[in-house]
Amino acid sequence: MRNMLAFLAAAALTVGGVGWYLGWFGFSSQPGNDGHRQINIDINGNKLAQDASKAARAAQELADKHQQQGAQDAGGDQKNKTAEAGRN
């Protein structure tokens, strides 16, 4: 259970750090009345959606490339098996 909580905390910190770095959200604070402080969180949904779309496209391209390479490797293996059978 402790490992799961540590993993979730690490994942939340990683997503938070990357999101802040990429401009998905920002924080600001202003002095308020009577010594209070106002903290504002600005979430840039458009930027988040654009980056998620880019990541999905990149993942799809990587999967397609891996699939094509696997098909080529399988075709090469089939040719090697045929050539070996012909030699025997």
> Which amino acid belongs to residue 8?
L
**Model pTM greater than 0.75?**
no
| pLDDT surpasses 60 at 88 | no
63 and 80: one domain? yes
Per-residue model confidence (pLDDT) at position 33: 84
How many structural domains is the chain composed of? 2
| pLDDT tens-place string over residues 13-71 | 999 999 999 999 999 999 988 888 999 999 999 999 999 999 999 999 999 999 988 88
**Distance from chain centroid for Cα 5:** 21
Q: Are residues 28 and 53 in the same domain?
A: no
- Residue 76: pLDDT band with limits 50, 70, 90: low
pLDDT band at 83 (very low <50, low <70, confident <90, very high): low
| CB-neighbour burial class of residue 37 (10 A; exposed 0-12, middle 13-18, buried 19+) | exposed
Nearest to 42 by CA among 17, 10, 19, 9: 19
21 and 34 part of one domain: yes
User: What is the domain extent for residue 18?
Assistant: 1-43
Measure the CA–CA gap between 88 and 85, rounded to whole angstroms.
5
The mean per-residue pLDDT over the stretch 73-87 comes to: 60
d(Cα 54, Cα 56) in Å, to the nearest integer? 5
